[in-house]
Copies of this chain bind each other. A is one copy, B any other.
Amino acid sequence: MANLIRITHCDDPAIAPYRNVRERDLAGRQKLFVAEGTVVLNVLLTSGRHAVHSLFLLENRLAGLADLLAKVPDGVPVYVADRTIMDEVAGFPIHRGVLALGYRETGQTAPAFPAGRSLVMGLVGIANHDNMGSLFRNAAAFGVDAILMDETCCDPLYRKAIRVSVGAALKLPSMTIGPASEMIARLRAEAYTIYATSPSAGLVLEDAPRAERVALLFGAEGDGLPDDILTETDGLRIGMAADFDSLNVAAASAIALHHFRKTAD
């Protein structure tokens, strides 16, 4: 039975963590992340990876959210308000009327590499939250076991990245791992075959052997992966038109992850 708490004042301290959720500066919320919409909230409540701080729902959405409310752990408050209060607190119109806060994991020191067959995605310098969310979504669709990010990547638990990932950012094991060289060292130690995607690589995707343990590295659009990574790893190219060899990093990941996917068809 969900613990419903009606909010009748914008300045109720109970909902202070929901103030101005649109702002990029999440000062004071570093331990929390914002999940929005029923699809994302469903992943948050079912994946079990993150503890749930609270929910904040529009009162006229309640009737349609019975399935979701049944999954809310005991003791987690579900704040309910009308549209005026919700939009005022959030700082912009929350059209779908479904918000939640979750706790970030802390103290993570080692990525969880599975034994045996495994597919890992490594990201270097991905600074755009849309791309980050799409990369996570594609990774989830093709059975990626873990995502490693170098220290220059943006935050996959930023609100928009979570939304674009359709919740995959809350589900897939992921870890920021210092400089990219550290990422390579860890993958080597775990016996991964490391492919660095690059338009200038000699090896074309279809000819790349599907090894038992594969790590696929993607760099930022424009810059691509740094030269030292390209020289230390096997390059991999996606064949494209000579006069328009331009692919978004998320599109490139979809194609390459699909090739190496672990999923049954």
Residues of A within 8 A of B (CB): 134, 137-138, 140-143, 166, 168, 171, 204, 206, 237-242, 244-248, 250-252, 254-255, 258, 261, 263-265
- The answer on a CB contact under 8 Å between B263 and A140 is no
Return chain B residues, CB-CB under 8 Å to A254.
247, 251-252, 254-255
Query: Could you jot down 15 A-B contacts, CB within 8 Å?
Result: A137-B246, A137-B248, A140-B241, A141-B244, A141-B247, A143-B241, A166-B246, A168-B244, A204-B265, A206-B265, A239-B261, A239-B263, A239-B265, A240-B263, A247-B254
What is the count of identical protomers in the complex?
2
Return chain B residues, CB-CB under 8 Å to A168.
244
- The answer on a CB contact under 8 Å between B138 and A251 is yes
How far, in angstroms, from A252 to B258 measured CA to CA in the complex? 10
CB of A264 to closest CB in B, whole Å: 7
- The answer on a CB contact under 8 Å between A141 and B246 is yes
- The answer on a CB contact under 8 Å between A258 and B261 is no
Given contacts A134-B248, A141-B240, A252-B254, 12 further A-B contacts (CB under 8 A): A137-B246, A137-B248, A140-B241, A141-B241, A141-B251, A143-B241, A206-B265, A239-B264, A239-B265, A241-B263, A250-B251, A254-B254
